[in-house]
């Protein structure tokens, strides 16, 4: 049951990296969508599609895949820092396993932080403020 919940939440963290938003130039409303290889698929398109901005610039990029993989890695690291999760998967860990579970999250955190800084994203997904017109 714990594994199913962790997989569901990891999938959510992965997919959240592909959401984006834009501000409609005509009425200023914010619209959200999902990045695809050809552009953005808008969840609820505006009625006035004539004034829609070019959504092809919101297409899926390699950096999105990097961010998604790192997000899942950070999520797994945080989940494995929880004592209840560790107790579920490793009821009585050996000393070497316990040392790895204590040290590994710090290393993963440092590496992922550096990679997030090296490969920033311009996505303004669900829950993030839309700046610069969503571009």
The count of domains in the chain is: 1
- Evaluate if residue 132 carries a pLDDT over 60: no
pTM exceeds cut of 0.85: no
Q: Which residues of 108-120 are buried (b: 16+ CB within 10 A; e: fewer)?
A: beeebeeeeeeee
**In this structure, is residue 106 part of a structural domain?**
yes
Evaluate whether 40 touches 22 at the Cβ level (below 8 Å). yes
φ/ψ bin of 37: left (φ > 0), alpha (ψ from -120 to 50), beta (otherwise): alpha
**In this structure, is residue 11 part of a structural domain?**
yes
**In this structure, is residue 97 part of a structural domain?**
yes
Taking residues 101-126, report their average pLDDT. Answer: 87
**In this structure, is residue 70 part of a structural domain?**
yes
**In this structure, is residue 88 part of a structural domain?**
yes
The full length of the chain comes to 135
pLDDT band at 134 (very low <50, low <70, confident <90, very high): very low
Q: Average pLDDT of the chain?
A: 85
pLDDT band at 131 (very low <50, low <70, confident <90, very high): low
Structural domain span for residue 37? 2-43+54-122
**In this structure, is residue 133 part of a structural domain?**
no
DSSP, residue by residue, 57-86: GG---HHHHHHHHHHHHHHHHHHHHSHHHH
């Amino acid at each position: 049951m714990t594994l199913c919940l962790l997989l569901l939440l990891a999938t959510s963290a992965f997919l959240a990296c592909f959401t984006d938003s834009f501000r409609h130039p005509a009425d200023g409303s914010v619209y959200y969508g999902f990045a695809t290889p050809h552009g953005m698929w808008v969840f609820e398109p505006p009625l006035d599609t004539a004034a829609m901005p070019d959504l092809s610039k919101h297409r899926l990029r390699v950096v999105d895949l990097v961010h998604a993989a790192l997000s899942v890695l950070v999520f797994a690291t945080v989940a494995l820092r929880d004592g209840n999760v560790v107790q579920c998967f490793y009821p009585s860990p050996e000393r070497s396993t316990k040392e790895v579970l204590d040290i590994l999250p710090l290393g993963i955190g440092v590496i992922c932080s550096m990679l997030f800084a090296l490969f920033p994203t311009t996505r303004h997904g669900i829950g993030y403020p839309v700046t610069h017109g969503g571009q």
